[in-house]
Structure 1
C-alpha cells in the first residue's frame, strides 16, 4: 500500500472510524469487476482510510451486503460512485439502498456525486485519443481526425446531455477536426449512425472513444462496430480506443467526489432531472414516488439472464413488486409485521409471482402502513397484517384490486 499524500491526515481528522464504499455497476465479465476492486484498493492508498467495493448488480458484494460488512467497524461511510453520469442508478437505486442501510445500521452515510464531467477525465480521454492516433499513424495537427465519444446510453436526458458536454469540452482547445457524441443503445444517435454520418465528411481518421469504465460487453460491441465501419469505408481509417479502466487520474475524481460528500457540498443537476422537473416527453417520470418504484423494479430485474451475447442487459423481473414502507412512522404503525406476513403469504401461494421489498418513506406519513404494488401503481394505506392474505390472494394472484385499502393510484 502506498503512503497517503501529505493532506490526508488533516482531511480525515476526527474520523478515525470512517470508511468509503466505492459502488460500481457490476458485470458478468469478472475483469470489469476486478477493475472496480483495483480502484477501491488504490483509493484506499490515496485517502488512507478503508475503501470497500460494492456493485449494483451482476457481481458481489451487493450494496446492502457491503454496508452490513462496514457497520461493525465504521460509524461513518461515504459513498463514492463509479457511475459516469447521473442516471437512474445514481438518482434512485443508490439513494434507496442508502436509506435502507440507514434504517438497518447505526451509520452516518454521506452520498457523493457521480464521476461526471471533470478535467482529469478530459485529460484521460485526450490521452486515449492520442494512443489511437499513434496506432493509426495520424496526427491531429496535420490530418483531419474526427473523434466519437460513445456513451452507454440512458433513458435519462440529463445523463445523455452530459455526454454531449463532455464531447464539446474535448473539442475545445484541441486540434481535432470534430468531436461527436453517440451511444451504444437506448437513445440516439447510435454509434453506427454517427459513424456512417461521419463518412460523408471524409476525415483521414476516426477515433472512437468508448466512454465506459470497464472493458465489458458494451466496450467490445463498440470495437466491433468500429471495425465494421473501417471495413465498409476503406478511405477512412477507424479504430476504437480503450475504456477509462484503472487510470490513476480517476483517483483524482474519486477523491474530489469523496471530499464533496463528506463536507456536504455535493452538486447535482436537479434543474434538468426528469424526476424533479417537467421535461417535454418525460412528463410521466416526474415525482419521487414513481421514480422510487421504478428503481425498486430495476433492482429485481437482472436475475436469471442466460443469453449474454444476444442481450447483455435483458430483464427477467417478477410479475409484481411490492414496496412496504418501513420508515419510522409506518414502522411504529406495524409495517414490519405487514412485511413479514406478505412474504409468508407469497411463499405459501402456488401462483404468486411477486417480490416483497422494504422501502424508505413513500411520502404518505400518517396514512400507513403504506405499501405500493408495481407496475400497477396501486398504493394501499392503513394496511394491517391481516390484510396481507387479501392483497396476495386477490391482487397479486388474480389482479383484483382490494378497493377498500386503496390510498391512491399512479
Structure 2
C-alpha cells in the first residue's frame, strides 16, 4: 500500500481488462507462500487492477493454472517476478511457461524483469541492518559493524555478481566497517566461510541479512549458521535479520517492473547472460535449445522434490524427461497424437522412469513432430505416433537410441 512518499502507478487508459500475475518461487512452508499472496493483494490495491499470485513449485496455483484462470477474464496479463535476481527461473523457466500459455490461450502476455538492484531495496536492507544493530546494542557510527548480505546462490554468474553489487552499494555512503556478499549454497563464498573470515578483523558486531523474500527453509539456515558463529566466537556479537518479507517498499519495485513490461522497456543483462554469450567456464550453457531443455528438466525436478531440508538445487527427478513440441507447425504434423501415445506407453511400461510434457517451439519447424529426450540430449524428428512404442521401449527403458529417428544430438 502506498505511503505519502511513494509513487502511485495508475493504469493507462485502454487496459481495462488487464491483469497482473505475480510469480513467486514457492515453498513447503505455507507462511512463505502467504507472503507472496499478501504482496499480490497489496499490489492490487496500489495498481488498481487485478493481481493474482502463482508459483514455480511447491505451492498452488502453478503458473499454467494461473494463466488458465486469467484467460476468461483478461485479454492482457503482465508477469511480475518475485525473483530477486535473473538466474534460470527468470531466464528460462518463466519464459517457457509464458510461451506455453501464449500457445494455449488468447492472451497478450508481457514479461517483466526480476526485482534486481533497486534503491528501494537498498533502503529496506539498510533498515533491516539498523533493526539488528538495535537488538545487539551497537551503533555503526561508534562501533565497528560488519554486514553480510547472504543470497541463495546460483549457477548463474550474472545473478551472483548482482549480489556483490548490492553489497557494495549498501556499503557506499554508510558507516559500516565493511559489507560482504555471501551465499547459502551452490557457489562461493559461503556464509560460513565469510563469517569465519570476518572474525579475523574482530568487529564489534556482525549483522547478517538474509537476502530472500520469504521466511523459508534457507532463511532459517542463515539464522542457524549465524547463531553457531555467535556461539563459537564470543568476542563478536552476531545476529541475523529478517528477510525482505512484505515490506511496502517492495510494492514500488513491483510497480516499476510492471510499468516497464507493459511499455516494452524491460532491460535485461543480456551482455552477461551465460545463455547468450560465451563466459569463461560456462561455454556449454550457450544456446537457446540447450537452455530450454534445462528449464524443462528443472521444472520436472522441482515437481518431484519431497525433502523439506535439502540442499539448494538438490532434487529428486525422473530419470528421463521427454519434451514434445506442440507448437503450430508440429501440431499440424501430428505431435498431439505423439504426445498422448508416449504418455500411454510410459504408463504401460513397468520399468520406465520418465516424464512426458509438451513444449513450445524447439526451433526445428518443418522437421517435426520433434521429440527431445533429456538429459541424453537426443532429438528425434519426423516422429509418428507409431514410433512411441520404440522410443519408450528401446530408449527410455533400455537406453538404446532409435537411430533412424535421430534429428540431432546436444
Interval containing the TM-score (normalised by the shorter chain): over 0.9
> Structure 1 residues 196, 358: CA separation in 2 closer, same or farther (over 3 Å shift)?
same
Distance change in 2, residues 1:370/1:35 (3 Å): same
**Residues 232-279 of structure 1 deviation map (CA, whole Å, 9 limit, x = unaligned):** 111111110000000000000000000000000100001111111111
Say whether the 8 Å CA contact 2:380–2:408 is kept in structure 1.
yes
Q: 1:216 to 1:227 in 2, by over 3 A?
A: same
| Kept after mapping to 2: 8 A contact 1:4/1:45 | no
Contact 2:37 2:53 in 1 (8 A): yes
Instruction: Tell me how far apart the structure 2 counterparts of residues 131 and 4 of structure 1 sit (CA, whole Å).
Output: 23
Deviations 1:34-83 (A, max 9, x none): 00000000000000000000000000000001001101100100000000
Q: Does the CA-based 8 Å contact 1:92-1:295 persist in structure 2?
A: yes
Change (3 A) 1:10 1:180: closer
Q: Matched residue of 1:404: which SS?
A: helix
Query: C-alpha root-mean-square deviation of aligned residues, in Å?
Result: 1.8
Q: 1:255 to 1:4 in 2, by over 3 A?
A: farther
What is the Cα deviation at residue 295 of structure 1?
A: 0.7
1:303·1:315 contact (CA, 8 Å) conserved in 2? no
The answer to whether the 8 Å contact 2:57/2:303 transfers is no
Report the secondary structure of 1:301's partner residue.
Answer: helix
5+ residue gaps, structure 1: none
User: For residues 313 and 409 of structure 1, do their structure 2 counterparts lie closer, same or farther at Cα, with a shift above 3 Å needed?
Assistant: closer
Q: What TM-score do you get using the length of structure 2 for normalisation?
A: 0.97
**CA shift at 1:288, angstroms?**
0.8
Q: Is 1:218 aligned to 2:188, yes or no? A: no
Q: Is the 8 A contact 2:71 2:106 kept in 1?
A: yes
> CA separation in 2, counterparts of 1:358 and 1:17?
29
In 2, Cα distance between the equivalents of 1:384 and 1:361? 17
Separation in 1, partners of 2:309, 2:33:
18
Query: Separation in 2 of the partners of 1:261 and 1:165?
Result: 24
User: In 2 relative to 1, CA 4–42 (structure 1 residues): closer, same or farther, beyond 3 Å?
Assistant: farther
Judged with a 3 Å threshold, the aligned counterparts in structure 2 of structure 1 residues 4 and 325 are, in CA distance, closer, same or farther, namely farther
The 1:2/1:130 distance shift into structure 2, 3 A limit, reads: closer
Moved more, 339-348 or 249-258: 339-348
1:140-179 pair list within 5 angstroms: 140-179=140-179
Distance change >3 Å, CA 197–CA 3, structure 1 → 2 = closer
TM-score scaled by structure 1?
0.97
Shift of the alpha carbon at 1:3? 12
**Is 2:24–2:36's contact at 8 Å kept on the other side of the alignment?**
yes
* CA displacement, residues 327-362 of structure 1 (integer Å, 9 cap, x when unaligned): 111112211111111111111222211111111111
For structure 2, the residue ranges without an aligned partner over 5 or more in a row are none
Q: Deviations over 1:120-141 (max 9, x none)?
A: 0000000000001111111111
> Using the alignment, how far apart are the partners of 1:330 and 1:306 within structure 2?
35
Instruction: State the Cα distance separating 1:314 from its structure 2 match.
Output: 3.5
Contact 2:185 2:312 in 1 (8 A): no
Within 1, Cα distance between the matches of 2:333 and 2:8? 46
Relative distance call for 1:340 and 1:5 in structure 2 (3 A) is farther
The alpha carbon displacement at 1:297 in A equals 0.6
Contact 2:9 2:46 in 1 (8 A): no
Moved more, 299-308 or 103-112: 299-308
Q: How many residues align?
A: 410
Q: Residues 2 and 8 of structure 2 are in contact (CA less than 8 Å); yes or no, is this contact kept in structure 1?
A: no
Q: In 2 relative to 1, CA 322–310 (structure 1 residues): closer, same or farther, beyond 3 Å? A: closer
Structure 1 Cα separation of the partners of residues 5 and 127 of structure 2: 25
Q: Secondary structure at the match of 1:74?
A: coil
Q: Distance in 2 between matches of 1:170 and 1:365?
A: 48
Give the Cα separation in 2 of the matches to 1:250 and 1:84.
Answer: 11
